[in-house]
């Protein structure tokens, strides 16, 4: 093997978002595009000489080819050890666990998360740091600066490695280990949860349906739910990962997991329905006739976490992203533990977790996790729900009803307006931002604004400040609307409007969320001049 230096012109569109660099697959397939980003990442971390890395992805189109390229660049940059999931497969939480367990210097995770896959769809690359979590903002800023100045990349001329065979090989001085993607993760889950209680639950006739959406969690769910815990064969559906996710959209919400939702709302519904996304870090939970919003799921899991062995001694604190409802805040207050509100993006939880300030974290975008890794973890959330159901002997609907009777209910919904022309989305946000100081006291669609601001985050651990993290408008009666441009899409701009209304414990918890939130929706759309700016009046996705 020899290494060569390839001269290139720098790319100027490789700024990582909240979860790495995401583009259309064909963009990554352009000559030198992927190579440039990987080399820029090595440069940003001080080079690869003598370092170890985990590599894996969700199996989407171009996953295997991208891994071969990363291996060759790692070799040319002097890496000493690579740990790669068999067939190039690793869920994002499993990759985080391997980074932490084997003490590597970081990892490359190939995924565009919940976005569709295929040659004409989306691809992504994310670098996770040595703590197992997504690269912090300071590092992604260095990576972006490197991409804009990069004049060459280093790559070896070695042949492709065999990703199918478990075992260890050497490429000159670099050790390459192909590992079972599931075994280490399964062992971790056995440490966290009462598998005997969950096995007894299934043995007693409990039924569930887990939709892996032809994404990465299929092998994990088969191994854990069916093989280890004894759930009947067929509990896991769409369990074979496919390059295009079976031409589906691997986003676990009521829109894209409609088949599961229809089942759970029918008279044939099992006791629990669950789904996970492309790379395995998100989850959807739904009981028989009872959809659980991600915000409520976070709150319920936090309130009942003590029922699982790993959390029996209590929680250090709870963290949520700013757009997530305040339901988990009420749990933290009752437990007398810390509560933290961060910007969107799991990387913001990393400092809190590393400092021992929080144990459980969550985002309204269906991500929930704990200090066992430094990523959100879809299967972890499903297993914690199963542990709780096994211990409480109640249905999902009964657990929700009991929770609302104790803490009150945060009616919540997110409205997504996708592929908006970027200039129009920017104009809406800029105009709304400019008028925030004048909004208090004004009324829109019958609701009066009490407070309005732009969210900034002061990290209590390292003192860093993150600004421009979303616009918040509060209304009399306990309502809140948040406006934010998403960083996870690959076309145009996605405007997300988050609506939340709190109903106290003694209030009415039986309303349909869209009905309960209709006045707030009308006020939010009106004050933002949504239709004037975008020509839209209905969201593409409502969750």
Check if the beta carbon of residue 279 is closer than 8 Å to that of residue 109.
Answer: yes
Among 521, 495, 530, 280, smallest CA distance to 412 is for: 521
* Active-site residue list: 113
H-only helix segments in 117-250 = 137-149, 183-192, 195-203, 217-221
270 to each of 211, 213, 260, 337, 397, how far by Cα in Å? 13, 18, 10, 35, 13
HSE-CB at 337 with a 13 A cutoff on CA atoms is 19
| CA pair distance 109, 127, nearest whole angstrom | 6
Say how far apart CA 48 and CA 79 lie, in whole Å: 5
Q: Is 228 helix (H, G, I), strand (E, B) or coil?
A: helix
Separation CA 261–CA 60 (nearest Å): 24
SS3 annotation, 102-147: CCCCCEEEECCCCCCCCCCCEEEEEEECCCCCECCHHHHHHHHHHH
Instruction: Name residues whose C-beta falls within 8 Å of residue 290's C-beta, 6 or more positions apart in sequence.
Output: 395, 396, 397, 400
- With beta carbons less than 8 A apart as the criterion, state whether 341 and 482 touch: no
Element (H, E) at 479: strand 479-485
The gap from C-alpha 106 to its chain's centroid, in whole angstroms, comes to 18
Assess contact for 131 and 105: CB atoms under 8 A: no
Per-residue tokens: 485 = 């441009």
Which residue do the tokens 């992927």 mark? 34
DSSP secondary structure code for residue 17 in this structure: B
- H-type alpha helices, 366-487: 378-392, 396-407, 422-435
Please, are residues 97 and 373 in contact by the beta-carbon 8 Å criterion? yes
Of residues 480, 482, 496, the one with CA closest to residue 536: 496
- If phi over 0 gives left and psi between -120 and 50 gives alpha, with beta otherwise, what is residue 46? left
HSE on the CB side for 537, CA within 13 Å?
3
- Residues, the chain: 543
């Amino acid at each position: 093997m020899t290494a060569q230096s390839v001269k290139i012109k720098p790319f100027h569109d490789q700024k990582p978002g909240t979860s790495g660099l995401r583009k259309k697959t064909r963009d990554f397939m352009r000559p030198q595009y992927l190579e440039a980003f990987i080399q820029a990442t090595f440069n940003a971390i001080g080079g690869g000489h003598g370092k170890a890395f985990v590599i894996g992805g969700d199996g989407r189109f171009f996953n295997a080819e991208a891994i071969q390229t990363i291996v060759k660049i790692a070799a040319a940059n002097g890496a000493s050890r690579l740990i790669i999931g068999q067939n190039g497969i690793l869920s994002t939480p499993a990759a985080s666990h391997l980074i932490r367990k084997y003490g590597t210097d970081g990892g490359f995770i190939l995924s565009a998360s919940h976005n569709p896959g295929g040659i004409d769809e989306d691809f992504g690359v994310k670098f996770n740091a040595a703590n197992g979590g997504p690269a912090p903002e300071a590092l992604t800023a260095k990576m972006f600066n490197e991409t804009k100045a990069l004049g060459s990349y280093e790559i070896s001329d070695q042949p492709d490695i065999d990703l199918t065979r478990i075992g260890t090989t050497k490429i000159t001085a670099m050790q390459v280990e192909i590992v079972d993607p599931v075994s280490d993760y399964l062992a971790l889950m056995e440490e966290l949860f009462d598998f005997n209680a969950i096995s007894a639950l299934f043995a007693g006739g409990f039924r569930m349906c887990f939709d892996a959406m032809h994404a990465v969690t299929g092998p994990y769910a088969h191994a854990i739910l069916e093989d280890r815990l004894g759930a009947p064969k067929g509990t896991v559906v769409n369990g074979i990962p496919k390059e295009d996710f079976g031409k589906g959209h691997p986003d676990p919400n009521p829109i894209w997991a409609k088949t599961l939702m229809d089942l759970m709302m029918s008279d044939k519904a099992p006791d629990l329905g669950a789904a996970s996304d492309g790379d395995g870090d998100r989850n959807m939970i739904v009981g028989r006739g009872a959809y659980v919003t991600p915000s409520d799921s976070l709150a319920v899991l936090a309130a009942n976490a003590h029922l699982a062995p790993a959390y029996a001694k209590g929680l250090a604190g709870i963290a949520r992203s700013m757009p997530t409802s305040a339901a988990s805040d009420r749990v933290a207050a009752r437990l007398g533990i810390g509560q933290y509100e961060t910007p969107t993006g799991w990387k913001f939880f990393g400092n809190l977790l590393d400092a021992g300030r929080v144990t459980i974290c969550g985002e309204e975008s269906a991500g929930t996790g704990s200090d066992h890794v430094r990523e959100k973890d879809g299967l972890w959330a499903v297993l914690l729900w199963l542990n709780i159901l096994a211990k409480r002997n109640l249905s999902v609907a009964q657990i929700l009803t009991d929770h609302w009777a104790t803490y009150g209910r945060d009616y919540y919904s997110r409205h997504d307006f996708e592929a908006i022309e970027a200039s129009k989305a920017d104009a809406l946000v800029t105009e709304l931002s400019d008028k925030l100081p004048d909004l208090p006291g004004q009324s829109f669609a019958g609701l009066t604004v009490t407070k309005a601001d732009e969210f900034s985050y002061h990290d209590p651990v390292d003192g860093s400040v993150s600004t421009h993290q979303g616009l918040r408008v509060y209304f009399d009666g306990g309502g809140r609307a948040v406006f934010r441009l998403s960083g996870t899409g690959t076309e145009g701009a996605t405007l997300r409007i988050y609506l939340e209304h709190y109903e106290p414990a003694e209030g009415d918890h039986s309303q349909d969320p869209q009905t309960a939130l209709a006045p707030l929706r009308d006020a939010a759309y009106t004050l933002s001049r949504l239709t004037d700016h975008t020509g839209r009046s209905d969201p593409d996705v409502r969750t």
